[in-house]
Amino acid sequence: MSSYTSGDRLTYSEYLRLTELLDLQSGEKGCTREINNDETHFIIIHQIFELWFKLILSELRCARDLLMGSHVEESKIPKIVQHLNRVTEICRLMANQWKVMETLTPQDFLVFRDKLGTASGFESWQMRELEILMGLKNNDRNKGMDPLSHYRKLADENPIYLQGLNQLEKTIKEPSLDDVLQQWLERTPIQGSFITDENDQELVNDFVNEYLDAMIKLNKKSLEITSEHSSVDKKTLEDRFNANIKSAEEYLRPEGETNRSRAGLLFIEAYRDLPLLAWPRKLIDSFVELEESMVLFRTHHARMVERIIGRRVGTGGSSGVDYLDATTKYRIFKDLWGVRTILIKNSALPPIKNQETYGFSNK
């Protein structure tokens, strides 16, 4: 029998290990001094976030594992969506949790801020891990920051960081959610053509060409209408509309070659009413919602920080609010955001071919 059980019945507090949990708010290891109510609040909020991060990591891994592999059963998609939706809801809750933090006044915080020294949420390895697991690249971070080299430096200074470093080193070797999503999108049947079909490349290129032609036609019309009523001169407008087409071409054919994953994504978004695309489209929406909720979580953090410490330097030594605002520009699932710019109305879409591929399946 484990030392946690009393008699045969597992108790509420044993199951949740409440005694240990409620004993973890001392502020520092072995501290016997009483901490004040505001500091207890500060610690509890941080601990709650870290617990949410822990759950987010496990949900993201479940979603990633289900979406990984060369074939994903359609029946698995609802489960993946469920994992992603749970993370989204946690992020929404966390975004609101900053409100509780904001009940700490700037003066209340100053009472114990010095005690933190250089300790900062910047050192949260779970936060870095979830960014890496989702697929955030160092080049897309503020000033190309490399979390691993930051963590190596921390671990050199203090072995307490080895746990975080090991975790990050392990995670960076794993496929990210963005990796598996792109691989899955690449296999989307486009106009009824499968990636394994002999003439797939030709058919996908045809689809991309037809789509771009449809965009060009629409653009021409929009330019005529806009230039009639706009205060912007025709040449500037023309440049803007042409840039739109150019960016669509670059999106679909980076370096001249069709990107099948983006073409597949465009196909799902464009023909989203087709029955067989219902779950794929839901999956994509879940990724977008997840990233949006993450961005809002970051944004609310920055606003809370601005309210409590103004524009001063963070305890981690960053520029503080400016740094946090820069992180709100991060986008991981860039293609999902990018495709939105090139969507066109249903009535202008190239006609759908091999529609039966996307009908209800009797299997």
Name the site residues for ligand HEM (rule: CB under 6 A): 45-46, 49-50, 101, 104, 109, 120-122, 124, 127, 301, 305, 308-309, 314-318, 320, 323-324, 327
Q: Is 247 left (phi over 0), alpha (psi -120 to 50) or beta?
A: alpha
With contact defined as beta carbons under 8 Å apart, do 304 and 98 qualify? yes
Which CB sits closer to ligand HEM, 27 or 316? 316
Which CB sits closer to ligand HEM, 45 or 72? 45
Please tell me the distance from the alpha carbon of residue 267 to that of residue 227, in angstroms, as a whole number.
31
C-beta of 355: minimal distance to ligand HEM in Å?
45
C-beta of 178: minimal distance to ligand HEM in Å?
17
Q: Is 7 helix (H, G, I), strand (E, B) or coil?
A: coil
Please tell me the distance from the alpha carbon of residue 66 to that of residue 180, in angstroms, as a whole number.
9
Query: How far is CA 32 from each of CA 20, 142, 170, 325, 348, rounded to the nearest angstrom?
Result: 16, 39, 36, 38, 71
Which CB sits closer to ligand HEM, 38 or 210? 38
C-beta of 26: minimal distance to ligand HEM in Å?
17
Which CB sits closer to ligand HEM, 117 or 351? 117
Which CB sits closer to ligand HEM, 88 or 193? 88
C-beta of 358: minimal distance to ligand HEM in Å?
40
Which residue carries 């496929």 as its tokens? 175
Give burial (CB, 10 Å; 0-12/13-18/19+) of 60.
buried
C-beta of 109: minimal distance to ligand HEM in Å?
5
C-beta of 55: minimal distance to ligand HEM in Å?
13
Give Cβ neighbours of residue 84 (< 8 Å, ≥ 6 apart). Answer: 59, 63, 283, 286, 287, 289, 290
Which CB sits closer to ligand HEM, 164 or 350? 164
Which CB sits closer to ligand HEM, 17 or 312? 312
DSSP letter string, 230-254: -SS-HHHHHHHHHHHHHHHHHHHSG
C-beta of 53: minimal distance to ligand HEM in Å?
7
